[in-house]
């Protein structure tokens, strides 16, 4: 007998669940209606108004440009067969990039903003426009003339100048970068060759005048010969050499023989800098692939620094010509300080430059010979790096006797010696007293350095390097050096 099917029991839906269901359906229908309805076209963003043009004609149409400063000085550019040229310098080579820049700026000058709508009611003297800092008078080939007055700098974060177009009642501002070229002197446009020095070839740097400084190159580092005979700090010398290599002049004023040097303070210069260059060989390759070399002899350059220009610059005499340069690029010569160039850590020879090291303190004395030998692999082959260059390792032996010293122990000891650091400057003219407490002699492939420590006070010793005592050091260095002896 089959069983009668059971009826499915209907359970009532709770009121809260029903409301949630209806709300979900409404949201779905609302979203569909939103995406299916026609989209409203948003209005376009407002257009940025064009900036007011003070000058706007092609450079080729400029017949002449007269520039007059507040003191009545200035210059005039006139159009010749080869374009614009500086009047009075027709036979003088001009800097092409400078002539192109001034022509470009004179052909297109636009205002950044309007500072005053009615110039007649504006206090023009407050803007430096009466009289103007600079007056630009442009005549075009068709006879049209335009005059722009440039005034003082504004207080804007981006440097700007007040400006006015004669005939226009308004006062504007223009970017300083777009009108700076007009404030250059006539000599700025004279062509000249910038100094091209390779600082890596310098052998000697000598300075006399307001102060004296003499620096000499060795393969193991630069040495100061004056005002102290003392090693120079490698990092400080790297910065100095980088600045020498970056020297650049702003303008050439002409041949020294045609100028009155006393006008520039060059008859009795503040500083005379002599740079000596080592002989070198330039190697290259011809178009046919043939290797060639050219011997370049040693050379010498002399740079004279005269008086300040009054505009953050200085006058110079270089290679028979008088120049003007910014203190940003040449002012470092006047700021050199011999004390800042002194080596603070006298144990600084690279291990691969060492030949011998000897150390004595109290009744202990040790001496080591250091050699760099070719590293050999387990297969008894010469070890090389990924570029095929031979690898070397440090081999240390005691002298006398010739007993070998473990490489790691010696290198750890040498690294400890390198912690010797100047703690402060001794009084000027101070001479150490008594016997030295410790003596360290380092011999490199090119120079020998003797370091002596003398008693100074309860916490410090006098540091003497090659007979010159300028600094004191912490007293406990000797104990550490003795404890780590290999």
Would 74 be classed as within a structural domain? yes
- Could you tell me the CATH number of the domain that includes residue 233? 2.60.40
Does some domain include residue 249?
A: yes
Say if residue 384 is in the same domain as residue 412.
yes
Residue 88 sits in the same domain as residue 132: yes
Q: Are residues 407 and 452 in the same domain?
A: yes
How far is C-alpha 412 from the geometric centre of its chain's CA atoms? Answer: 36
Q: Are residues 471 and 337 in the same domain?
A: no
Assess whether 63 and 176 both reside in one domain: yes
pTM of the complete model? 0.79
CB 322 within 8 A of CB 208: no
Strands 230-231, 251-255: pairing is: unpaired
Q: Is 252 domain-assigned?
A: yes
- On whether the CB atoms of residues 55 and 108 are closer than 8 A, the answer is yes
User: Do 101 and 77 share a structural domain?
Assistant: yes
pLDDT tens series, the chain, 486 aa: 333 333 333 344 434 443 444 445 444 445 444 444 444 454 554 444 567 899 999 999 999 999 999 999 999 999 988 889 999 998 889 999 999 999 999 999 999 998 888 655 667 888 999 999 999 999 999 999 999 999 999 988 899 999 999 988 889 999 999 999 999 999 999 999 999 899 999 999 999 999 999 999 999 999 999 999 999 999 999 999 999 999 999 999 999 999 999 999 999 999 999 999 998 777 777 777 777 777 888 899 999 999 999 878 999 999 999 999 999 999 999 999 999 999 999 999 999 999 999 999 999 999 999 998 888 777 778 778 778 787 888 899 999 888 889 999 999 999 999 999 999 999 999 999 899 999 999 999 999 999 999 999 989 999 999 999 999 999 999 999 999 998
Task: Tell me the pairing of strands 213-216 and 62-69.
Answer: unpaired
Tell which residue, 100, 62, 115, 89, has the closest CA to residue 187. 89
Q: What is the pLDDT of residue 48?
A: 47
Whether residues 222 and 101 share a domain: the answer is no
pLDDT digits (tens, 9 = 90+) for 295-306: 888 899 999 999
- Residue 204 burial (10 A CB sphere; 0-12, 13-18, 19+): middle
Q: Each residue of 440-470: pLDDT tens digit? A: 999 999 999 999 999 999 899 999 999 999 9
**Does residue 48 fall inside a structural domain?**
no
Which residues is 161 bridged to in the sheet? Answer: 153, 174
Say which DSSP state 416 is in.
H
Domain closes at, from 133, 161, 189:
189
Q: Is residue 166 part of a domain?
A: yes
Q: Is there a single domain that holds both residue 375 and residue 436?
A: yes
Residues 184 and 315 in one domain: no
pLDDT of 383 reads 79
Does the residue 68 lie in any domain? Answer: yes
Report the distance separating Cα 78 and Cα 65, nearest Å: 7
Q: Is residue 152 part of a domain?
A: yes
Model pLDDT, residue 465: 97
User: Is residue 203 located within the same domain as residue 155?
Assistant: no
Asked if residues 395 and 407 have their Cβ atoms less than 8 Å apart, the reply is: yes
Q: Are residues 177 and 252 in the same domain?
A: no
Number of domains in the chain: 3
Query: At which residue do the structure tokens 């335009």 appear?
Result: 146
Show the beta-strand stretches assigned E in 329-447: 354-361, 364-374, 392-398, 404-405, 424-425, 438-444
Phi, psi of 279 (to 5 degrees): -65, 150
What per-residue confidence (pLDDT) applies to 320? 95
Half-sphere exposure of 351 (CA within 13 A, CB side): 17
- What is the domain range of residue 142? 53-189
Alpha-carbon distance of 138 to 210, in angstroms, equals 47
Assign residue 270 a region (left: φ > 0; alpha: ψ between -120 and 50; beta: otherwise): alpha
pLDDT score, position 38? 47
Domain end, chosen from 132, 163, 189, is at 189
> Cβ distance 224 to 341 under 8 Å?
yes
Amino acid 61: pLDDT: 96
Q: How far apart are the first and last CA of the chain?
A: 107
Asked if residue 80 lies in contact with residue 91, where contact means CB atoms within 8 angstroms, the answer is no
11 found inside a domain: no
- Pair (321, 401) in one structural domain: no
- CA-based nearest residue to 200, from 303, 281, 278, 300: 278
Q: What pLDDT sits at residue 80?
A: 87
Q: Which of these three, 151, 166, 189, is where a domain ends?
A: 189
């Amino acid at each position: 007998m089959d069983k009668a099917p059971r009826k499915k029991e209907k359970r009532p839906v709770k009121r809260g669940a029903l409301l949630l269901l209806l709300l979900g359906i409404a949201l779905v229908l609302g979203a569909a209606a939103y995406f299916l309805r026609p989209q409203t076209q948003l209005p376009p963003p407002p257009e940025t108004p064009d900036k007011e043009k003070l000058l706007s004609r092609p450079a080729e149409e400029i017949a002449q440009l007269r520039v007059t400063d507040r003191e009545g000085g200035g210059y005039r550019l006139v159009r010749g067969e080869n374009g614009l040229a500086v009047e009075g310098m027709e036979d003088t080579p001009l800097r092409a990039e400078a002539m192109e820049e001034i022509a470009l700026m004179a052909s297109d000058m636009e205002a950044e903003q309007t500072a005053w709508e009615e110039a007649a009611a504006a206090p023009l003297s407050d803007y430096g426009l009466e009289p103007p800092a600079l007056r630009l008078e442009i005549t075009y080939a068709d006879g049209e003339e335009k005059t722009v007055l440039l005034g003082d700098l504004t207080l804007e974060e981006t440097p700007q100048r007040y400006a006015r177009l004669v005939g226009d009642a308004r006062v504007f501002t223009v970017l300083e970068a777009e009108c700076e070229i007009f404030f250059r002197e006539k000599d700025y446009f004279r062509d000249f060759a910038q100094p091209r020095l390779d600082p890596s070839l310098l052998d000697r740097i000598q300075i006399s005048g307001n102060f004296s400084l003499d620096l000499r190159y060795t393969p193991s580092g630069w040495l100061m010969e004056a005002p102290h005979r003392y090693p120079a700090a490698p990092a400080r010398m790297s910065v100095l050499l980088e600045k020498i290599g970056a020297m650049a002049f702003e303008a050439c004023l002409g041949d020294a023989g045609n100028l009155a040097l006393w006008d520039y303070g060059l008859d009795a210069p503040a500083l005379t800098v002599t740079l000596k260059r080592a002989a070198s060989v330039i190697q290259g390759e011809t178009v046919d692939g043939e290797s060639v070399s050219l011997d370049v002899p040693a050379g010498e350059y002399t740079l004279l620094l005269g008086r300040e220009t009054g505009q953050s610059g200085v006058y110079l005499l270089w290679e028979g010509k008088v120049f003007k340069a910014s203190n940003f690029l040449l002012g470092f010569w006047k700021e050199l300080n011999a004390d800042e160039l002194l080596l603070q850590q006298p144990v600084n020879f690279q291990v691969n430059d060492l030949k011998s090291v000897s150390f004595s303190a109290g009744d202990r004395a040790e001496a080591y010979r250091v050699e760099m030998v070719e590293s050999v692999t387990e297969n008894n082959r010469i070890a090389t790096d990924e570029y095929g260059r031979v690898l070397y390792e440090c081999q240390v032996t005691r002298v006398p006797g010739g007993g070998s010293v473990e490489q790691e122990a010696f290198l750890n000891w040498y690294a400890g010696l390198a912690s010797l650091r100047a703690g402060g400057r001794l009084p000027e003219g101070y001479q150490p007293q008594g016997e030295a407490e410790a003596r360290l002699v380092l011999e490199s492939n090119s120079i020998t350095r003797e370091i002596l420590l003398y008693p100074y006070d309860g916490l410090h010793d006098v540091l003497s390097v090659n007979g010159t005592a300028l600094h004191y050091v912490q007293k406990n260095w000797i104990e550490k050096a003795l404890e780590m002896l290999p």
